[in-house]
């Protein structure tokens, strides 16, 4: 048997790199920048007003208040997207709307709430007179050019994971395309004579197939580009053709089923023909068997056990880190955090295998994470795993009781 951490290290070392690609920034959500982004423009591009009000010369309003208003003559109104036709002279003001360029001569903006303007008398036409009730310091109500991002500034360094606000910033600096690590193309191949995908009644010995929908969804959530390779035919020739096509198309192939020790599955034989495979026995429960290797292409094969919970667990602990590395993320390892067991977690057999138990987790009133094991811990009991939002790690031979601290990985 091999420890999980060692297996993960092997996988990460064997994983090929993908070349960066150009992508429309708006489509690059959750991708990782492969190059620094430097702004070609200042944001905002010009000094502008941060509120609706009157652009004034602050010296004209010294000492102004509601009791002693300052009276100025309005030159007209400047909406956002427009510009003042003339500078503000002594005793004058432009009515300005949020985002309008600051008129020349003005050095402050008084908000409309601090004026005699009303809905009925908006005081925005040339020649109107308005009373102002505040004495703003120079700079009040003004957003300076470049105060968000300066021209030539490093906006985001390479390695940045692009989240929604990053996409907004890229648009704001006019970076319409970005160089990022590509989303890995990941083929999903399920194997097994007993598996049925069609909507028909099951014949004796058959079951409805469940891993494909789960794995495709896991891949989508991880920001990968999943490719449905269907159910592997059990004849070797069909499997060879199917895999050959998949290798040409995919960066990674994730398969389920046929990796157990006792298996005489044709997939094992065909994979052996196509590349150098490593058949591992992981020191974990569930999901002991795992295969990986490089097929011509180079395409990395990651072979999961067929039992649905095992497939889910080994995807989470081994496949996800590989895909995160391919995506260019820095933190690729699953992050276990301490939690308090709210119930007995049962005894893990002392057989060298670390248990990963399906559990529900929530933060208690004290702010600490609390976990409770789910009842059905069998590797075929996917419905219990679906209700879990955490995996709890229990080393071999231990039986954490209620109140004990346990290492927990939050899922989703
Ligand atoms: P295997 O790893 O191929 O030996 O399969 C182990 C168990 O998982 C068997 O009971 C299979 O029927 C079941 N199994 C394998 N693949 C799937 C699948 N895609 N969906 C549901 N059950 C599966
Ligand atoms: Mg099978």
* pTM for this predicted structure: 0.94
* Chain segment 68-103, per-residue pLDDT in tens: 999 999 999 999 999 999 999 999 999 999 999 999
Cβ of 53 below 6 Å from ligand 1: no
From the alpha carbon of 265, which atom of ligand 1 is closest? 3
Q: Ligand 1 test: best mutation among 307, 379, 386, most atoms within 8 Å of CB?
A: 307
| Spacing, Cα 10 to ligand 2 middle (Å) | 25
**pLDDT band at 227; cut points 50, 70, 90:** very high
Residue 369 has what pLDDT? 98
Cβ of 260 below 6 Å from ligand 1: yes
From the alpha carbon of 380, which atom of ligand 1 is closest? 8
* Chain segment 295-312, per-residue pLDDT in tens: 988 999 999 999 999 999
Q: Ligand 1 test: best mutation among 210, 212, 257, most atoms within 8 Å of CB?
A: 257
| Spacing, Cα 263 to ligand 2 middle (Å) | 8
Closest C-alpha to ligand 1, atom 10: 307
Tokens 């470049």 — which residue? 146
Query: CA 278: distance to chain centroid?
Result: 31
Is pLDDT at 264 greater than 70 in this prediction? no
Cβ of 50 below 6 Å from ligand 1: no
Q: What are phi and psi of 132, to 5 degrees?
A: -115, 135
| Spacing, Cα 191 to ligand 2 middle (Å) | 6
Residue 266 has what pLDDT? 78
Residue 297 has what pLDDT? 83
| Spacing, Cα 264 to ligand 2 middle (Å) | 9
From the alpha carbon of 305, which atom of ligand 1 is closest? 2
Closest C-alpha to ligand 1, atom 8: 307
Closest C-alpha to ligand 1, atom 19: 211
What is the rounded CA–CA span in Å between residue 338 and residue 318? Answer: 21
């Amino acid at each position: 048997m091999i420890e999980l951490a060692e297996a993960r290290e092997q996988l990460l070392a064997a994983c090929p790199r993908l070349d960066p690609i150009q992508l429309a920034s708006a489509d690059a959500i959750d991708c990782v920048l492969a190059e620094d982004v430097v702004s070609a423009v200042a944001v905002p591009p010009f000094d502008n007003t941060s509120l609706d009000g009157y652009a004034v010369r602050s010296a004209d309003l010294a000492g102004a208040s509601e009791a002693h208003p300052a009276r100025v003559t309005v030159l007209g109104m400047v909406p956002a997207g427009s510009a003042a036709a003339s500078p503000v002279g002594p005793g004058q003001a432009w009515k300005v709307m949020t985002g309008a360029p600051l008129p020349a001569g003005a050095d402050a903006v008084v908000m409309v709430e601090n004026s005699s303007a009303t809905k009925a008398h908006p005081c925005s036409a040339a020649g109107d007179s308005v009373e102002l009730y505040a004495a703003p310091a120079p700079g009040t109500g003004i957003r300076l050019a470049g105060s968000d991002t300066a021209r030539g500034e490093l906006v985001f360094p390479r390695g940045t994971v692009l989240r929604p606000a990053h996409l907004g910033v890229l648009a704001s600096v006019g970076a319409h395309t970005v160089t990022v690590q590509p989303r890995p193309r990941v083929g999903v191949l399920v194997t097994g004579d007993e598996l049925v995908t069609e909507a028909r009644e099951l014949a004796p010995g058959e079951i409805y197939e469940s891993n494909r929908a789960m794995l495709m969804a896991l891949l989508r959530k991880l920001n990968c580009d999943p490719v449905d390779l269907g159910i592997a035919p059990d004849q070797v020739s069909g499997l060879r053709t199917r895999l050959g096509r998949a290798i040409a198309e995919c960066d990674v192939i994730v398969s389920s089923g046929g990796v157990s020790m006792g298996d005489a599955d044709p997939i094992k034989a065909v994979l052996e023909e196509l590349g150098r495979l490593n058949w591992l026995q992981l020191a974990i429960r569930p999901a002991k068997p795992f295969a990986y290797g490089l097929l011509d292409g180079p395409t990395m094969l990651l072979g999961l056990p067929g039992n649905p919970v095992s497939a889910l667990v080994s995807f989470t602990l081994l496949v996800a880190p590989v895909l995160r590395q391919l995506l260019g993320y820095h933190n690729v390892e699953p992050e276990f955090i301490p939690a308090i067991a709210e119930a007995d977690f049962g005894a893990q057999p002392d057989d060298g295998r670390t248990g990963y138990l399906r559990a529900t987790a929530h933060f208690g009133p004290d702010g600490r994470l609390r976990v409770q094991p789910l009842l059905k811990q069998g590797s075929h009991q996917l419905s219990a795993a679906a209700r879990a939002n955490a995996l709890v790690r229990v080393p071999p031979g231990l039986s954490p009781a209620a109140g004990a601290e346990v290492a927990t990985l939050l899922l989703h």
